[in-house]
Structure 1
Amino acid sequence: MHLTEQSKIYFIGIGGIAMSATAGIAKQMGFEVSGSDSKELYYPAKGVLTDEHIPYHIGYDANHVKNFSNTIFVASAGEDERNPEIAELRKNNVHIYSLSEMLRELFSDKLRIVVTGTHGKSTTTAMLGKALSEIDNSSFMTGAVLTDLNKNFHVGDGHYAVFEGDEYKALYDDPTPKFIQYEPDILLLTNLEFDHPDMFESLEDIKNELALLIHRMPDDGVIVYNSDNAELVKLVHESNLGSISFALDTDSDFTATEIQTTNDYTKFLVKRRGDFPSEEYKITAFGRINVYNALGPIALLRTLGFSIEQVQSGLDNYEGIKRRFEYIGQHSSGAKVFDDYAHHPTAVKETLATARLRFPDSKIWAIFEPHTFSRTEAVINEISESFIDANEVLISEIYPARERKTETSITGETVVKHISKHTPNVKLIQNKEEALQILNAELSKNDVVIIMAVGDFNTLAQKLTNTYAA
């Protein structure tokens, strides 16, 4: 069944951040939307579904998907035929849409822009999406909640639709990465390093998927890419599509120079290739990593013909996203506490470099929860060098996520041993309570705490500033 104005849309696994956002987008576009999930929902999904008045079932049941007329079904990639709703639809040969297919259908009449890469996707997508929503009232969806919107999407009537391109599989029985199914007209590539060893055996495997994505783009498609990344340079040069490069360290179509940081913003110049005057931009974000995150959108927006003033106005519209060097508050000692999603070694290193840039004279505490055994083992040498800007480092045991620990699995103790070669003040902790005990006892007024976690330590920043900051 194809999407029509009369279609109803039912989301299986509606509680995910991307699924709930897609449901919210569909509802705002006028569709009748409902769904289901296995358990009670929490922020941000619950807020989106409540605000948009979208009904949903708690618990899966085959009866939920029976006798639906004119209904399109969308499923989370995490749901398979053990889910009775999926099993019922498969039994009756009903097509199940992936999230990326659904978004492509919803925005089939727009120029679709996909942002992908190893890291920086959410921030870059949010910066570009917010800028285009300000300039053109375009739509966007990213993988993190924007602090001013308190959600991760916007629906407008502009010419563009911007999506964060996830490299994970589209459905349980379709290994195609989601970013391919968006079928973008414009592709923005932030960087390329090895990650997700649970899905890809090598960097070459990731490059092959990106090459397939590029191959499927239209002949007039455009690639905007970070030319400081050698792997992206090789990938783009193998394509016949038009391309626009941006960089900080190498000559490119758009090169950022003279980066200056204050307590309130980062300012830099952008030199365009050719006989153009330098352009000055300002962002309320910090560190080289955020100059990269802004430079890709700047390069694209200027190439699309928007003025310097329009681009700066669009960047001014970006106020940050949750869990990306997000200031949570003060500990009772006066120490500043930040929360971050960083789990790839490069992201960890850049996050701590940003902290050191902003707080050059402070003692910086890094609390890091390694994510999955496979990733940690694959990048252990890179992780060991990621904490050089921290004074004190607390490492938890590895968060397994979807993996199972075995006798040969890498341990937190091994991570600590590797980090100690480069950063001496590193300690293994067993749980949040031990981290709280250490921090409550040792934090001082001018200290800065950066918590980087995607699992059990997610709430540590809030506990430090609220529950445990007596």
Structure 2
Amino acid sequence: MRGRHAAGRDNAGMHIHILGICGTFMGGVAALAREAGHRVTGCDAGVYPPMSEQLRALGIDLIEGYGADQLALRPDVFVVGNVVSRARGPDGAPKFPLMEAILDAGARYTSGPQWLGEHVLHGRHVLAVAGTHGKTTTTAMLAWILEHAGLAPGFLVGGVPLNFGVSARLGRLPVEGARTPFVIEADEYDTAFFDKRSKFVHYRPRTAVLNNLEFDHADIFDDLAAIERQFHHLLRTVPPSGRVIANGLEESLARVLHQGLWSELRTFGAADSDYTADGDAHDFAVLRRGTPVAHVRWSLAGVHNQLNALAAIAAAEHLGVAPSAAAEALASFANVRRRLEVRGRVALPGGAVTVYDDFAHHPTAMRTTIDGLRRRLDHGGRAHERIVAIFEPRSNTMKRGTMKAQLPWALEGAALAFCHAGGLDWDAAAALAPLGARAHVAPDIDTLVAQVMAAVRPGDHLLCMSNGAFGGVHGRLLAALQARAVAADPVSSGAAAAQ
């Protein structure tokens, strides 16, 4: 184990047992710990793929549920995900009996972010990407730029970057006197039931990207000001030799910066920013203080991705990667799974119907995703083709109805909007009423698919948006479309290119 990160040298071969291991973040922590040579086991409720399959392939033993009998594993430390709480069911029994047993026994426990900070990130040049939107994509962009530059970064992304095929890796390990890069998606959600600070305060970045900042996570934050305070806590951890890279278009970030800054600042996006763009989102010049320094030509669409690119280019330059080299890397950037990911295409008489999967769930993210697809179609000479938005308000914030009034604005770029309203305690039909006949609400997935199939036309683009599995709606739509294609032309019907 010699030559690994400092914490790895001190704790080589430790056994960690992870509670909530199948979540994207905790699964990434597990993969990094296993790669570092530790023994890793874990548990979750409903051990589920794809994370369960990835973890088992790494030799990680998984246990279904949170039974107190897992205390007998006697790991060196229990690593607790923020899915775990002290909650009790209607019968008064604890929902997480293992956690109760850990507390009773006085066993050693810590949070996922704290374990990561102490055992993986310590001694690295951490590049942390924070923001309400675009964290995953920008983190993946930055990791790919550094990889393309030969820096072999470690990374932890809240998704699967298609250029790498994995969500986390250690990358090149530090040697004495040299900090090797580690790129991490820096989430503002809370750390654990016993640590209500945002996860990102544990990461201690030398390069901090502030992509944007809106109100979200209504289940843990009272208002935008509360989130701004957490972002300022992040800034307090950046060293004086570090760099903060902030979106110059965001008033909320200006307020965060106004609370105090002790590091070098670079801005992007606004006309007077350090880094700006000139041109369409898929083909643009990068200017540094008004001087062209690079040109990006790539497959991504949308102004949001243009801003993501500027942020990644600025962050990479802090490590000495020239903007021109960063732009060259972005030309081959393949994005992240579930970001306008084409799940299949079915040829119908009159034109093919395409089914997409996208992680958008906040109204702003939904609007920018629709706008990005619209721009892509318009630039491709397909302005006549319709975007059909299919979504479920699944996040904690959306389930509460906190942002229901923003949904008509979010969806106005779609020709039709279909909402899966099962389990909501607010009236989705009333919230979508400003869209008139363009809006449809369904209580379950079967009804939703039937509604979409009754309205779909050749050439349509079915954009499914959710931060969950959405009941397998993508596969159901593709199967229904394929059945229609076969019925229309049993001999030569186009096959669904389902993924």
Normalising by structure 1, report the TM-score.
0.89
Provide Cα deviations, 1:93-152, integer angstroms capped at 9, x if missing partner. 233221111211222120112111111111111111222233210111111122344431
Aligned pairs (5 A) from 1:288-437: 288-331=303-346, 333=348, 334-359=352-377, 360-371=383-394, 374-375=397-398, 377-397=401-421, 405=425, 410-420=426-436, 424-437=437-450
* Distance (whole Å) between structure 1 residues aligned to residue 23 and residue 134 of structure 2: 20
Q: What is the CA distance between 1:74 and its match in structure 2?
A: 0.5
Aligned pairs (5 A) from 1:134-213: 134-135=148-149, 136-157=151-172, 159-213=180-234
Aligned residue for 1:192, secondary structure, equals coil
Could you say if the C-alpha distance between residues 155 and 466 of structure 1 is closer, same or farther in structure 2, counting changes exceeding 3 Å? farther
Could you say if the C-alpha distance between residues 429 and 28 of structure 1 is closer, same or farther in structure 2, counting changes exceeding 3 Å? same
* Distance (whole Å) between structure 2 residues aligned to residue 388 and residue 357 of structure 1: 14
* Distance (whole Å) between structure 1 residues aligned to residue 401 and residue 274 of structure 2: 37
Match for 2:345: what amino acid? Q
Q: Confirm or deny: 8 A CA contact 2:140 2:161 kept in the other structure.
A: yes
Report what 1:244 is aligned to: 266
Q: What is the CA distance between 1:362 and its match in structure 2?
A: 0.5
Aligned residue for 1:464, secondary structure, equals helix
Aligned residue for 2:216, secondary structure, equals coil
State yes or no: 1:268 paired with 2:284: yes
Q: Confirm or deny: 8 A CA contact 1:335 1:448 kept in the other structure.
A: yes
State yes or no: 1:39 paired with 2:46: yes
Aligned residue for 2:278, secondary structure, equals strand
Q: What is the CA distance between 1:203 and its match in structure 2?
A: 0.6
Match of 2:123 among 97, 103, 109: 109
Q: Confirm or deny: 8 A CA contact 2:422 2:442 kept in the other structure.
A: no
Normalising by structure 2, report the TM-score.
0.84
Q: Confirm or deny: 8 A CA contact 1:224 1:245 kept in the other structure.
A: yes
Provide Cα deviations, 1:183-229, integer angstroms capped at 9, x if missing partner. 22221111011111111111111111111221233233321111111
| RMSD (Å) for aligned C-alpha atoms | 2.2
Q: What is the CA distance between 1:48 and its match in structure 2?
A: 1.8
* Distance (whole Å) between structure 1 residues aligned to residue 222 and residue 260 of structure 2: 24
Match for 2:80: what amino acid? A
* Distance (whole Å) between structure 1 residues aligned to residue 396 and residue 49 of structure 2: 27
Could you say if the C-alpha distance between residues 456 and 313 of structure 1 is closer, same or farther in structure 2, counting changes exceeding 3 Å? closer
Q: Confirm or deny: 8 A CA contact 1:371 1:399 kept in the other structure.
A: no
Report what 1:118 is aligned to: 132
Q: Confirm or deny: 8 A CA contact 2:124 2:181 kept in the other structure.
A: yes
Report what 1:234 is aligned to: 255
Gapped runs of 5+ residues in structure 2?
1-6, 87-93, 174-179, 378-382, 484-499
* Distance (whole Å) between structure 2 residues aligned to residue 67 and residue 372 of structure 1: 34
Q: Confirm or deny: 8 A CA contact 1:21 1:48 kept in the other structure.
A: no
Could you say if the C-alpha distance between residues 308 and 223 of structure 1 is closer, same or farther in structure 2, counting changes exceeding 3 Å? closer
Aligned pairs (5 A) from 1:68-83: 68=74, 71-81=76-86, 82=94, 83=96
* Distance (whole Å) between structure 1 residues aligned to residue 143 and residue 163 of structure 2: 13
How many residues are treated as equivalent by the alignment? 449
Match for 1:80: what amino acid? S
Percentage identity across paired residues of the two chains? 26
Match for 1:394: what amino acid? F
* Distance (whole Å) between structure 1 residues aligned to residue 371 and residue 337 of structure 2: 19
Match for 2:218: what amino acid? P
Q: Confirm or deny: 8 A CA contact 2:418 2:441 kept in the other structure.
A: yes
